[in-house]
């Protein structure tokens, strides 16, 4: 069944670029299954802390800039059997395309040289698709008038054109719809020092993306479809996305499905491939605009939307497994030959950290996103883009109402990230829907949804909610305890707030028991709980990238630890969280954007052992003793610069404490140096001094808790400069090494275990690591062994 | 300039269909032996065998036949048919239904040579012929019992069959 | 206007009515088709059925008359969750379309809960009504679904679908037009006959091959068709689709059983046993052939459903008969299954070109 050839695999890891998609869960799933299947894996990565918990599965972690050069060096030194680029974003494919002919018999898994190259080289992409008779937008780049006009005659109008100058710069694209505009464009400049580039215009076409998987035996399956609400012209990830693509009828769906499978076949991609389409519903023309033969933001979204374990499937397929004979873990089989049927809508709404309006275009501007679930488009709009708590839509409405019609119109012609609010305002002023649809390229069903929502909000504003229209309101996803009460009082309950599983009832969806749920409207809840005691983990919406990584890491560790310690973990979040595959069956995850779980009373109070909350501020009505706030609260902040400082993480059960991890930091010669797991190098005297300070700080604390302290060395003694109650960002660095299990220790303490009395200082500071992370200037990393670390410290202290 | 006229999927479906026909005409496959003519005829035989195995759960013996010593149209020294030493097939064909397999059927001379070879090794009950492509232009009274595709060609043209096992992909081209 | 979907076992699903306001009863089928509402509602298999669609926001993709699978719909009722009041191409909305067909509908139903219930308790009768009192439930329990579904949908008159190629007679048990489209595409000269056509009538048309189509209801409702199959199967190549497949199995001493979970999905994986190739095809059947009897029968299994291992296609060991339980003509669904028609035509060709072959080969 499996080619037994590769035994050792080099994974090309992520760079530290901010533009990277967070694929940490996918990386974890990938490496965990490789480990369970018996492969030896190593990774080349720039920041080892970005590996989060998957670090423990690697046989070798090479910390270096992720470039072709370094990959080649690794290949020549260690001779891996295969290279896996699928978790390394665009950079990894770029590296693959540069390795042709240089790596001998080393296999490339998932995406081959040709496919990787074609994602960068437009000419190759066009050539290959044309050969396979797939519709692609042809373009011409020429300074020969005959060639240019001949090309225009062959493709017809509308087209876009730009000039490319000899210094490699180019003008912006101009839309040309007819001969008159063409003549104007050509007349602007002489053709001598510039080339003219022309391609068919797909402005205003609807945008779709199809993700397929394929095995070595040419068996393929369509995993999911995504529809952009905004048309081509606005970056895919700045658009509001809907899955499945509900506006496609059978004929259109099958056309694009067939084309996607054909593309995967043409490039012989074994693994996953996402294909982007531009589709014109009026003329039924369509073009393939791009393809992505690796894991991406789309596959991450679809893995949650469809409950299909894409990351795990991809690595197995690339190793030669049959599509229907995949493995979930070392022992359990999984039928990957299924095109998941989803009976609800999963939607991704991009988020911007700045509050104001931002003009949108072909380049991505959003910073993060939020995913919501619902059974109707109205419901996902309400929970997502029009959710006042996220996007301050009430404020936006006020601002937009002050614009006059012309100013409002300008915002329609030049799309901004407030597009949906702008359209609602336009509909409020009775602008016509077909006109709006024509100008914005947003299809009618969405405008109708906005109109419905406008009517509803008018109803609510005017206090006209009654039992007659309550059904309509609930159908629209308007929920909140107020309306729900009215519903509950009614005899004829049409729908009420319930919790539904993300798994639809189909023949092939019974492979494994995904425990993802979401709060929505219906008549009955799907939630089935075991009789184990529960720990509920509550999580707010987080948009900063570091915070996301921290929460991701902590959640992963928390749920694994909770499950291992015999309890049932329930994660309730304002946005969904995808657990790693190995936990997905054990952890119940509920997407609850309006935080309604409490009022639904589905989890019996007696079975809740503890609530762990990630929010910065708790609700007043939370019983403080049952809630453990994990987020850091700053208790002390003393500004004291010093060359040498220590950061220690302390875990206490109220009486005794442990210091499992200490980070050393030194500023000298304009650079900063940090060494993690410093415990084993901490001089006894310092250890003693630090512990006395810690004991002082812990005096007033008599319950289970985590603390983070910063100590600065000043005049031969240590001073506490910062103290936090709770987890800070350092948690990742503290737990990077596998021997320190801070979170597991914390969970055990929460469960009632105690730290032994009378521990010696050596035991309190015990740390079993044999690899130490050296961070220079907060951005360059190195993993050192004991001897090298000693040398480095000696150098620093001179 | 080679032009692909049959793609991989059509080719594999044709092999599946030949398998069904073999089962149908034979009313059971207990006494079958597949003999593939080297080189690609052997892969055709193996593919049919694996399909038979999947459908009926019975393993049919597959033998390879190298007929170069028996060919009568090759320009090397004249060989007296009586001097040719029969090569062992490795499979007992006595009283069996032998299905000879090859990739392309053209003049028929290869098949005649194959039948000669078989007759020197044993006495089969029946010999049938299965080919992936029949391109016409027979020079001997030989016909295929099972044909994947009939492709009319001119004698100036060449049919090229590629098989995954040896050529990396499945397809049939004409040039 | 509040309406209720009431199941045979007394479970009530509230919703809001749309379309026709008549009261209706039928066999409730949960359809997991991702697309193709036009095809599903006009599929003659839907005769006597109330179709519950699980896809969200149904109707946004529009309604296109070209995708009908029969001239009029025989569907008894539709049940949906959310719908879209407007369409991507400006065509008629789903609600208006259902109303124009005179079909009663109920929306805002918790279709997920309905699917769960049916998965647990099996397919059953249901009604769309205006009240949900005891009386209504008793009425449903008492109702017997008509046993002559095939008779209602089968063409009364024979009619041709003329072309220049191979001659096919299609025995209409409730065929979908896309079967005829696939035949036309392959230039087949077809004649479509009533389910009750006698062997003599069919032989007089001099077919090269005969297709027994898909259809509603149970094979035990049309014993005379089984007799016809027995009379013709030794003389002509035969293709059985869906109900046709079940009839052919029964005509040859096989038994049929109910599927643990019925197959009503537009894209479900089927594996071709011989080659291991996996195709995604449209399924619309609740029965399959009992594996226990295949070994002793004269059939070999050619296709199985990957998810639950059930038989999806069989072929006779020595007669030119091939059958599939899935819908090779798709409509809706992926076109991976079209090859079945090519295979049938190849089968017919191979019989025709047997010079010393002919009847005594078998």
* Cβ B87 vs Cβ B144: under 8 Å: no
pLDDT digits (tens, 9 = 90+) for A41-75: 999 999 888 887 888 899 999 999 999 999 999 99
pLDDT in tens, B19-55: 999 988 887 678 899 999 988 999 999 999 999 999 9
The pLDDT confidence band at residue B163, using thresholds 50, 70 and 90, is: very high
Contact A11, A41 (CB under 8 A): yes
Assess whether C17 and C131 both reside in one domain: yes
Q: What is the CATH number of the domain that holds C104?
A: 3.50.30.20
Q: What is the mean pLDDT of residues B102-116?
A: 92
How many other C-beta atoms are found inside a 10 Å radius of the C-beta of residue A742? 20
Contact C275 B28 (CB under 8 A): no
pLDDT of residue B74: 47
Q: How far apart are CA A18 and CA A541, in angstroms?
A: 20
Alpha carbons within 13 angstroms on the beta-carbon side of residue A151 total 20
Calpha distance A226→A243 (Å, rounded): 5
Cα–chain-centroid distance for residue C343?
A: 20
Cβ–Cβ under 8 Å, residues A486 and A473: no
Q: Supply the mean pLDDT for chain C.
A: 91
Neighbouring chains to A with at least 3 Cβ pairs closer than 8 Å: C
> What is the least distance, in Å, from the CA of C241 to any CA of chain B?
18
Q: Mean pLDDT in chain B?
A: 86
Q: What is the pLDDT of residue A758?
A: 87
Q: How would residue A1 be classed by pLDDT, with cut points 50, 70 and 90?
A: very low
User: What's the farthest any 2 CA atoms get from each other in chain B?
Assistant: 46
Give the per-residue pLDDT at A180.
Answer: 86
Chain B residues close to C275, C-beta within 8 Å:
12-13, 15-16, 51, 54
- Residue A463: the pLDDT is 63
Residue C320, chain B, CB below 8 Å: the answer is: yes
Residues C213 and C108 in one domain: no
CA A676/CA A679 separation, integer angstroms: 8
- C-alpha to C-alpha distance for C328 and C283, rounded to whole angstroms: 9
Question: What are the CA-CA distances from residue B139 to residues B73, B112, B115 (Å)?
Answer: 12, 11, 16
Q: Quote the pLDDT of residue A494.
A: 53
Residue C157: inside a domain = yes
Three-class SS state of A653: coil
Give the residue from chain C lying closest to A524, CA to CA: C113
For residue C115, what are its two tokens?
A: 């699917």
What does the block give as tokens for B23? Answer: 């089962």
**B-chain residue closest to C353, CA distance:** B145
Residues C129, C8, single domain; the answer is: yes
Mean pLDDT across the stretch A745-749?
88
Of A727, A434, A700, which Cα lies nearest the Cα of A555? A727
Whether the per-residue pLDDT at C358 is higher than 50: the answer is no
Chain B: partners with 3+ C-beta pairs within 8 Å: C
In this prediction, residue A482 carries a pLDDT of: 40
Q: Which residue of C has its CA nearest to A492?
A: C14
Note whether residue C345 is domain-resident: yes
Mean pLDDT calculated for residue range C140-155 = 88
Domains assigned to chain B:
3-21+30-71+87-174 (3.40.50.2020)
Determine the pLDDT at residue A483: 47
Determine the distance from the C-alpha atom of residue B57 to the mean position of all C-alpha atoms in its chain, rounded to a whole number.
22
CA distances (Å), origin B107, targets A428, B51, B101, C356: 81, 28, 15, 21
Interface B-C: count of C-beta contacts within 8 A: 51
Residue of chain C whose alpha carbon sits nearest to that of A214: C278
pLDDT higher than threshold 90 for residue A215: yes
Could you tell me which residues are beta bridge partners of residue A774?
A675, A782
Nearest CA in chain A to C56: A344
pLDDT at B71 over 70: no
Greater confidence (C93 vs A53) lies with C93
Do C32 and C138 fall within a single domain? yes
Asked if C89's CB is within 8 angstroms of A445's CB, the reply is no
C315 in contact with B at a CB cutoff of 8 Å? yes
Q: How far apart are CA A92 and CA C29, in angstroms?
A: 48
Structural domains of chain C, count:
2
Q: Measure in Å the smallest separation between the Cα of C276 and chain B Cα atoms.
A: 8
Check pLDDT > 50 for residue C357.
no
Which of A343, A448, A508 lies at the smallest CB-CB distance from C269? Answer: A508
Chain B CB contacts of C320 under 8 Å are: 24
- DSSP E strands in A261-399: the ranges are 271-279, 286-292, 326-327, 333-334, 345-351, 368-374
Strands A174-176 and A206-214, by their bridges, are: unpaired
Question: Which residue in chain C has the smallest CA separation from B49?
Answer: C274
Q: What is the pLDDT of residue A353?
A: 85
Which residues from chain B sit within 8 angstroms of residue C347, using beta carbons?
A: 17, 20
Contact C112 A246 (CB under 8 A): no
Structure tokens at A217: 């035996």
Tell whether the model's pLDDT for residue A480 goes beyond 60: no
Task: For residue A206, give the chain C residue with the closest CA.
Answer: C88
Q: Could you tell me if C149 and C126 are in contact, meaning their C-beta atoms sit under 8 angstroms apart?
A: no
Q: pLDDT exceeding 90 applies to what percent of chain A?
A: 43
Contacts of C111 in chain A (CB under 8 A): 343
Contacts of C116 in chain A (CB under 8 A): 505, 526
Residue among A250, A281, A335 whose CB faces C306 most closely: A335
Q: Do C342 and B24 touch (CB under 8 A)?
A: no
User: Looking at the partner chain, which of B17, B27, B51 has a beta carbon nearest the beta carbon of C317?
Assistant: B27
Per residue, the 3-state secondary structure of A583-617, as one string, reads HHCCCEEEECCCCCHHHHCCCCHHHEEEEEECCCC
Residues C78 and C209 in one domain: no
ipTM of the assembly?
0.94
- Residue A736 pLDDT > 80, yes or no? no
User: Residue C285 belongs to a domain with what CATH number?
Assistant: 3.40.50.880
Tokens of A433: 């829907």
Domain boundary among C142, C176, C193: C142
Q: In terms of domains, do C21 and C153 share one? A: no
Q: Is C91 on the interface with A (CB under 8 A)?
A: no
Distance CA A219, CA A217 (A): 6
Is the CB of residue B54 less than 8 Å away from at least one CB of chain C? yes
Residues 3-62 of C with CB under 8 A from A: 13-16, 30, 32, 34-36, 38-39, 54-57, 60-62
Rounded to an integer, the average pLDDT of A234-240 is 92
List, in sequence order, every beta strand (DSSP E) within A229-325. 241-243, 271-279, 286-292
Q: Does residue B170 contact residue B3 with C-beta atoms inside 8 Å?
A: no
pLDDT in tens, A107-121: 999 889 999 999 989
The model carries a pTM of 0.91
Angstrom distance (rounded) from CA A444 to CA C60 = 9
Neighbours of C206 (CB within 10 A): 10
Which of C95, C121, C142 corresponds to the end of one domain?
C142
Across A568-577, A616-625, A725-734, least confident range: A616-625
Nearest residue, CB atoms, C267 vs list A324, A339, A449: A339
pLDDT exceeds cutoff 60 at A481:
no
**Which DSSP category does A173 fall into?**
P
Q: Which of C56, C261, C306 sits opposite A324 (nearest CB)?
A: C306
Residues of chain C contacting residue A253, judged by C-beta atoms under 8 Å apart: 34-35
Query: Would you say A561 and A53 are in contact if contact means Cβ atoms under 8 Å apart?
Result: no
* Contact across the interface for C274 and B24, Cβ inside 8 Å: no
Residue-range definition of the domain harbouring residue C287? 149-350
Mean pLDDT across the stretch A496-522?
86
| Tokens of residue C154, six digits | 């089968």
In this prediction, what percent of chain A has a pLDDT beyond 70?
93
Residue C128 lies in a domain: yes
Q: Using CB atoms within 10 Å of the CB of residue C296, give its burial: 0 to 12 exposed, 13 to 18 middle, 19+ buried.
A: exposed
Four-residue CA torsion sign, C335, C340, C346, C349 = negative
Whether A444 sits inside 8 A of C67 (CB atoms) is no
Q: Do B55 and C317 touch (CB under 8 A)?
A: no
The answer to whether residues C153 and C76 belong to one domain is no
Mean pLDDT lowest for which of A43-57, A226-240, A424-438, C217-231? A43-57
**Tokens 């690609």 sit on residue:** B40
Determine the distance in angstroms separating the CA of C315 from the nearest CA of chain B, rounded to an integer.
8
- Is residue C346 over pLDDT 80? yes
Residue of A nearest to C259 (CA): A507
A167-202 per-position pLDDT tens digit:
777 777 888 888 888 888 888 877 666 888 899 889
Question: C-alpha dihedral over C311, C312, C315, C316, to 10 degrees?
Answer: 40
CB C174 within 8 A of CB C47: yes
Residues C63 and C97: their CA atoms lie apart, in Å, by 8
Interhelix angle A405-413/A433-440, nearest 10 degrees: 40
C-beta atoms surrounding A710 within 10 Å? 23
**Mind giving me the DSSP string for C101-131?**
TT-EEEES--HHHHHHHHHHH---EEEEES-
Residue A4: band (very low, low, confident or very high) from pLDDT cuts 50, 70, 90: low
Give the residue carrying structure tokens 């250890």: A687
Mean pLDDT of A290-303: 95
The residue out of C142, C164, C196 marking a domain boundary is: C142
A402 Cβ contact list (under 8 Å, min separation 6)? none
Helices (H) and strands (E) in chain A, counts: 27, 33
Measured distance CA(A370)–CA(A390) in Å, rounded: 9
What element of type H or E holds C31? strand C24-31
Instruction: Say yes or no: C211 and C234 in one domain.
Output: yes
Do A221 and C306 count as a contact with CB atoms less than 8 A apart?
no
């Amino acid at each position: 069944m499996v080619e037994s050839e590769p035994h050792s695999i080099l994974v090309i890891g992520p760079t530290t670029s901010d533009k990277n998609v967070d694929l940490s869960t996918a990386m974890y799933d990938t490496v965990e299954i490789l480990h369970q299947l018996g492969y030896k894996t190593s990774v080349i990565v720039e920041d080892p802390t970005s590996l989060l918990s998957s670090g423990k599965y690697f046989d070798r972690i090479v910390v270096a800039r992720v470039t072709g050069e370094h990959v080649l060096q690794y290949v020549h030194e260690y001779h891996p059997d295969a290279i896996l680029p699928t978790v390394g974003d665009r950079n990894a494919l770029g590296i693959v395309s540069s390795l042709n002919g240089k790596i001998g018999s080393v296999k490339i898994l998932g995406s081959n040289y040709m496919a990787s190259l074609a994602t960068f080289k437009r000419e190759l992409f066009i050539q290959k698709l044309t050969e396979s008779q797939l519709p692609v937008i042809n373009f011409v780049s020429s300074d020969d008038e005959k060639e240019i006009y001949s090309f225009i005659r062959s493709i017809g109008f509308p087209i876009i054109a730009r000039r490319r100058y000899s210094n490699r710069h180019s003008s912006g694209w101009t839309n040309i719809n007819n001969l008159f505009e063409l003549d104007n464009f050509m007349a602007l400049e002489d053709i001598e020092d510039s080339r003219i580039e022309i391609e068919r215009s797909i402005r205003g076409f609807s945008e779709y993306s199809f993700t397929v998987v394929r095995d070595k035996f040419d068996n393929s399956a369509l995993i999911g479809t995504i529809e952009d609400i905004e048309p081509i012209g606005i970056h895919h990830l700045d658009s509001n996305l809907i899955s499945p693509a509900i506006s496609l009828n059978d004929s259109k769906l099958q056309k694009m499905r067939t084309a996607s499978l054909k593309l995967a076949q043409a490039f012989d991609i074994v693994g996953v491939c996402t294909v982007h389409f531009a589709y014109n519903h009026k003329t039924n023309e369509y073009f393939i605009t791009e393809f992505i033969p690796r894991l991406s933001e789309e596959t991450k979204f679809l893995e949650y939307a469809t409950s299909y374990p894409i990351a795990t499937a991809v690595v197995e397929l690339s190793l030669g497994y049959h599509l229907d004979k995949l493995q979930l873990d070392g022992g359990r089989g999984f039928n990957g030959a299924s095109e998941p049927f989803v009976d609800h809508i999963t939607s991704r709404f991009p988020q911007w950290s700045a509050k104001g309006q931002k003009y949108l275009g072909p380049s991505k501007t959003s910073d993060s996103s939020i995913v919501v679930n619902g059974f109707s488009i109205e419901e996902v709009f309400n929970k997502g883009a029009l959710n006042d708590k996220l996007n301050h839509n009430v404020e936006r409405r006020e601002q937009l109402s002050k614009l006059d019609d012309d100013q409002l119109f300008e915002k329609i012609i030049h799309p901004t990230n407030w597009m949906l609010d702008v359209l609602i305002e336009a509909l409020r002023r009775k602008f016509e829907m077909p006109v709006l649809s024509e100008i914005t390229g947003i299809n009618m069903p969405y405008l109708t949804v906005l109109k419905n929502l406008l009517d509803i909000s008018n109803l609510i504003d005017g206090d006209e909610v009654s039992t007659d229209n309550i059904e309509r309101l609930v159908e629209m996803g308007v929920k909140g305890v107020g309306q729900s009460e009215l519903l509950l009082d009614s005899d004829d309950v049409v729908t009420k707030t319930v919790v539904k599983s993300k798994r639809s009832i189909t023949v092939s969806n019974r492979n494994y028991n995904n425990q993802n749920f979401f709060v929505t409207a219906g008549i009955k809840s799907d939630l089935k709980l075991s009789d184990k005691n529960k720990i509920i983990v509550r999580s707010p919406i987080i948009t900063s990238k570091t915070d996301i990584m921290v929460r991701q890491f902590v959640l992963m560790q928390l749920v694994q630890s909770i499950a291992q310690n015999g309890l049932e973990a329930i994660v309730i979040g304002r946005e969904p969280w995808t657990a790693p595959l190995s936990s997905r069956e054990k952890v119940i995850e509920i997407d609850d954007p309006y935080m309604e779980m409490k009022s639904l009373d589905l989890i019996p109070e007696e079975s809740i052992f503890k609530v762990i909350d990630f929010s910065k501020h708790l609700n007043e009505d939370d019983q403080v003793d049952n809630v453990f706030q994990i987020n850091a609260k700053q208790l002390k902040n003393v500004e004291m610069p010093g060359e040498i400082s220590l950061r220690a993480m302390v875990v206490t059960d109220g009486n005794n404490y442990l210091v499992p991890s200490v980070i050393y930091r030194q500023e000298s010669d304009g650079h900063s140096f940090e060494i993690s797991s410093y415990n084993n190098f901490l001089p006894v005297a310092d250890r003693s001094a630090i512990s006395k300070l810690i004991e002082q700080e812990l005096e007033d604390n008599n319950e289970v808790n985590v603390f983070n302290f910063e100590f600065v060395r000043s005049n031969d003694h240590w001073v506490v400069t910062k103290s936090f109650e709770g987890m800070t960002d350092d948690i990742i660095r503290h737990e990077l090494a596998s021997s320190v299990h801070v979170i597991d220790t914390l969970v055990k303490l929460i469960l009632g275990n105690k730290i032994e009395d009378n521990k010696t200082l050596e035991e309190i500071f015990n740390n079993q690591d044999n690899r130490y992370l050296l961070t220079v200037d907060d951005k360059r990393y190195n993993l050192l062994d004991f001897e090298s670390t000693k040398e480095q410290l000696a150098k620093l202290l001179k | 300039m080679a032009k692909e006229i049959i793609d991989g999927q059509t080719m594999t479906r044709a092999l599946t269909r030949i398998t069904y026909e073999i089962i149908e005409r034979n009313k059971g496959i207990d006494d079958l032996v597949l003999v593939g003519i080297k080189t690609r005829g052997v892969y055709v035989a193996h593919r049919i065998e694996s399909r038979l195995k999947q459908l009926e759960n019975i393993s049919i013996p597959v033998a390879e036949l190298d007929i170069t010593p028996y060919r009568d149209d090759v320009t090397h020294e004249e060989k007296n048919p009586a001097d040719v030493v029969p090569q062992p097939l490795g499979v007992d064909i006595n009283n069996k239904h032998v299905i000879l397999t090859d990739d392309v059927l053209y003049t028929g001379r290869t098949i005649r040579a194959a039948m000669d070879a078989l007759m020197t090794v044993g006495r089969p009950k029946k010999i049938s012929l299965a080919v992936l492509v029949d391109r016409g232009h027979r020079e001997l009274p030989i016909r295929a019992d099972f044909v994947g595709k009939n492709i009319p060609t001119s004698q100036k043209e060449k049919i090229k069959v590629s098989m995954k096992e040896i050529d990396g992909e499945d397809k049939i081209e004409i040039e | 206007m509040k309406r209720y979907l009431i199941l045979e076992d007394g479970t009530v699903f509230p919703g809001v009515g749309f379309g026709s306001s008549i009261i209706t009863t039928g066999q409730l089928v949960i359809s997991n088709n991702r697309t193709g509402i036009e095809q599903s509602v006009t599929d003659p298999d839907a005769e006597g059925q109330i179709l519950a669609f699980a896809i969200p926001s149904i109707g946004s993709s529009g309604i296109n008359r070209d995708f009908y699978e029969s001239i009029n719909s025989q569907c008894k009722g539709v049940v949906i969750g959310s719908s879209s009041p407007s369409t991507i191409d400006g065509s008629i909305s789903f609600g208006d379309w259902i109303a124009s067909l005179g079909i009663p509908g109920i929306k805002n139903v918790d279709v997920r809960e309905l699917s769960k219930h049916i998965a647990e308790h099996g397919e059953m009768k249901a009604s769309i009504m205006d009240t949900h009192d005891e009386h209504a439930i008793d009425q449903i329990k008492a109702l017997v679904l008509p046993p002559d579904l095939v008779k209602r949908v089968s063409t009364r008159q024979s009619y041709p679908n003329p072309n220049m190629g191979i001659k096919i007679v299609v025995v209409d048990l409730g065929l979908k037009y896309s079967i005829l489209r696939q035949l036309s595409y392959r230039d087949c000269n077809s004649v479509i006959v009533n389910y009750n056509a006698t062997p003599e009538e069919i032989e007089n048309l001099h077919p090269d091959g005969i297709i027994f189509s898909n259809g509603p209801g149970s094979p035990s409702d049309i014993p005379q068709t089984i007799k016809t199959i027995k009379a013709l199967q030794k003389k002509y190549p035969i293709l059985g689709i869906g109900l046709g497949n079940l009839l052919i199995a029964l005509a040859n001493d096989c038994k049929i059983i109910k599927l643990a979970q019925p197959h009503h999905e537009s894209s479900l994986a089927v594996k071709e046993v011989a080659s291991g190739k996996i195709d995604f095809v449209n399924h619309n059947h609740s029965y399959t052939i009992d594996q226990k009897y295949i070994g002793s029968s004269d059939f070999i299994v050619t296709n199985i459903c990957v998810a639950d291992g059930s038989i999806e296609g069989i072929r006779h060991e020595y007669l030119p008969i091939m059958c599939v339980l899935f819908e090779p003509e798709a409509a809706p669904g992926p076109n991976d299954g079209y090859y079945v028609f090519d295979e049938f035509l190849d089968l017919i060709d191979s019989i025709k070109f047997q010079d010393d072959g002919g009847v005594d080969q078998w």
